[in-house]
Structure 1
Amino acid sequence: MDHTLFKAITDSRQRITLATIIDVKGSSPRHAGTKMLVGYDGTRTGTIGGGKSEARTLDACRQSRESGRSLLLETKMLGDGTASTEMICGGTHRVLIEAAVDPEPYRQALALHGQGKRLVFVKRLVGTPNETLDAVETSLIDAEGGILCGPAGSIDLERVARALQSGAPSFDTVNGLYYEPLLPEEKLLLLGSGHVGQAVARTAASAGFRVTVIDDRPEIIDAARFDATIRTVVAPYEQAIAEFAFDAATYVVIVTRGHHLDLQCLRAILTRDYRYAGIMGSRRKTRILIEQAITDGFDPEKIDALCTPIGLDIGAESPEELAIAIVAEMIAFRRNARILPALQHARKARRPAPAVN
């Protein structure tokens, strides 16, 4: 859920146009669910990928704003070869352009999201597909299938459940219904604020994660070292972890100053819910930590899922390079990237087998 865009919708005092990619076939610069707000004066918040596609969308937003009618715009990126003047990404995408966005569903979504609620927007496109639409009707659905606002109509509750499970939007072309899940805000719990920790905090924040950095050394975790959007906590690791609100959208990166502290953090998080957890260190160090976790009797599936050594293998060495490798792996989890099964299989193959009593 893009809190910045949604808050801009609810706070706006002018008429705004919302462009959302609702369907992608083949290759496209951005995925379904990507949004761009265009103000009455032409100012933009967000991007749907730039280039000719965005220019065409901006022109359609202007037309929509002037006519007061919503549109469904299809852009083909099937140009043939480098000499072509058309885009050559290799796919098509459809963009829903809403002429006048009702802020009320977004206001409700933000309030409920702040309480950790999982929600789904359902937008009904009324009119002839690929032409000017008669209306766009927005409904807000909770995780139990309850209609919080908007019409119920022909909403498919199985699609609602699948959207919440997969985290991915979908477009029912037959019924003209677009389903978009609104999952809890992605949070990074960063355990350790040394050189790598500081670099990871900056990189993760720029990628849209809400970052909390924990360290037990006041002189190292000076808030002045971090951007104002990054929360810093000075406390013993085990205490801070116990007080942190974990959920299925939590990412954990362990980069403390010593293996004994890494082990404390690992033991503390293995009993909690999270989306991703990784530990920085050499293969020997992380192997020793994994062996101890196995000996301690923690859930084998959670141990197998740990990203150790942490980050994508891009040959990173400097703190900034390591931060890129680590956040890139987090993004792979965010997007359910196709490389994940191969990564986890390779890591599991290197793990020690449980000791036989």
Structure 2
Amino acid sequence: MRDVLAQLTRLLDHGQEALLCQVVETKGSTPQKAGALMLVDPSGGQVGTLGGGCVENEVKQKALRRLGQSGADRHTFVLDHDYAWADGLICGGKMVILAEAFRGPEAAAYFLAYRNLLDAGLGLVEAVAIDPERCGADVIGARWLFGPDAELVASLPNREPPGAVANLVEPIDRRPRLASTRGVATLPVLPRIRLVVVGAGHVGQAVAKLAAEADFDVTIVDDRAQYANPERFPMADQILVGPMDEVLPALETTPHTYALIVTRGHGHDQEALFHLAPTTAAYVGLIGSKRKIRLIFDGLREQGVAEEHLARVTAPIGMPIGSQTVPEIAISVVAQLIARRNLGPEAVTTNPFARVESEDAPEAVGS
């Protein structure tokens, strides 16, 4: 999405038209969900995707025919048509896609506001008119941009949202869902998550790579410059090198921070967890076997770490997919992080090791 908006604002700033195609409603199984964006420039270049195949190509060709025209077109695709067979898109679902050619300073101001909100990382909601008569909008494709507290930030065209639209928008802290109702699509973008990976070894490197591709902002922490460096972690937004008892207490955490402990030894794991368990980070995960985790938790209790802080630690980490290799472990861990981000705390099982006494505890994904 950030790539699409960057190119969109660049075209508008240079006085060019920008053809934006956006999935605004889906039902059933589809290759992309509401909110997916594809930008087409006047020469036919493309950024973003609507899922590929004939649907994407057909929308692209129709969008190009809108050059120089005003207003948006609504396209509906049911993915059991003959054209879908060749692409393997016999999903049985339905996609509604809006296509519009944007131009001029008003559009540039709107999408710059969108880009700024996205870069701030605190979340936003865009409302898009699909059926103007039902939602009270002037035109199909009218857009309203709301900040994390559901405050109106921008609109295109420059109009106040009808009551039917404003009443559908919720603050981001209520975790609003993608929805299409009463003629308007509400498209939330949840806050960006900063993932702090403590440990720059093989697992940390594999997790960081996948997490960055999944749109996490990655911070690497390690006391070894030969491991924690831009050559090994080109995807990292920040690399912090130094003793954990200096780096971690100074680390700023918020409810939009996840912390993952995958260091090279039990002592380092325990030290990292000592500093991270009491923080405001929404997710703190520790890799390791049941025995290792039990020993670390017992040691932290002796150090005075409160039970309530230990109880919120996720250990072992990762989805139960039978991971053995480093890439498999990374996949299982990042899958859990995505579930936690998209579905909320209920997506992560309760920590079974806060008071574990038995060797029968489930195995971790790695150590």
Greater displacement, 101-110 / 19-28: 101-110
Matched, 1:139 2:147: no
Give identity over the alignment, percent.
Answer: 27
Aligned residues of 2:122 and 2:192 also touching (Cα < 8 A): no
Match of 2:355 in 1: 352
What is the distance in 2 between the residues matched to 1:93 and 1:330? 28
User: Offset of 1:163 from its aligned partner?
Assistant: 5.6
Aligned residues of 1:187 and 1:211 also touching (Cα < 8 A): yes
Match of 2:34 in 1: 32
CA deviation digits over 1:186-240, x for unaligned, max 9?
A: 2211100011111212222222222111101122213222215542111222433
Match of 1:323 in 2: 330
Match of 2:363 in 1: none
CA deviation digits over 1:327-356, x for unaligned, max 9?
A: 12222223329xx858615x54x65269xx
Match of 1:165 in 2: 174
Change (3 A) 1:183 1:105: farther
Change (3 A) 1:43 1:303: farther
SS, match of residue 249 in structure 2: helix
Matched, 1:179 2:179: no
Greater displacement, 305-314 / 91-100: 305-314
Aligned residues of 1:185 and 1:210 also touching (Cα < 8 A): yes
Please show how residues 185-334 of structure 1 align to structure 2 within 5 Å.
Answer: 185-227=192-234, 229-292=236-299, 296-298=304-306, 300=308, 303-334=310-341
Aligned residues of 1:120 and 1:164 also touching (Cα < 8 A): no
Change (3 A) 1:94 1:288: farther
Change (3 A) 1:36 1:323: same
Q: Which amino acid aligns with 2:317?
A: I
SS, match of residue 142 in structure 2: strand
What is the distance in 2 between the residues matched to 1:32 and 1:25? 9
Aligned residues of 1:191 and 1:213 also touching (Cα < 8 A): yes
What is the distance in 2 between the residues matched to 1:326 and 1:145? 32
What is the distance in 2 between the residues matched to 1:116 and 1:20? 21
Return the TM-score normalized by structure 2: 0.81
Q: Which amino acid aligns with 2:111?
A: Y
Select the residue among 52, 61, 64 that pairs with 2:63.
61
Change (3 A) 1:145 1:287: same
Q: Which amino acid aligns with 2:3?
A: T
Runs (5+) with no aligned partner, structure 1: none
Select the residue among 36, 42, 45 that pairs with 1:43.
45
SS, match of residue 48 in structure 1: coil
Aligned residues of 2:129 and 2:184 also touching (Cα < 8 A): yes
The CA RMSD measured in Å over matched residues stands at 3.1
User: Offset of 1:123 from its aligned partner?
Assistant: 2.2
User: Offset of 1:5 from its aligned partner?
Assistant: 2.0
Aligned residues of 1:216 and 1:236 also touching (Cα < 8 A): yes
What is the distance in 2 between the residues matched to 1:144 and 1:221? 37
User: Offset of 1:304 from its aligned partner?
Assistant: 4.3
Greater displacement, 317-326 / 25-34: 317-326
Aligned residues of 1:123 and 1:179 also touching (Cα < 8 A): yes
SS, match of residue 170 in structure 2: helix
Greater displacement, 31-40 / 58-67: 58-67
User: Offset of 1:251 from its aligned partner?
Assistant: 2.4
Matched, 1:123 2:128: yes
Aligned residues of 2:30 and 2:95 also touching (Cα < 8 A): yes
Change (3 A) 1:229 1:217: closer
Q: Which amino acid aligns with 1:183?
A: L
What is the distance in 2 between the residues matched to 1:88 and 1:237? 52
Equivalenced residue count is: 342
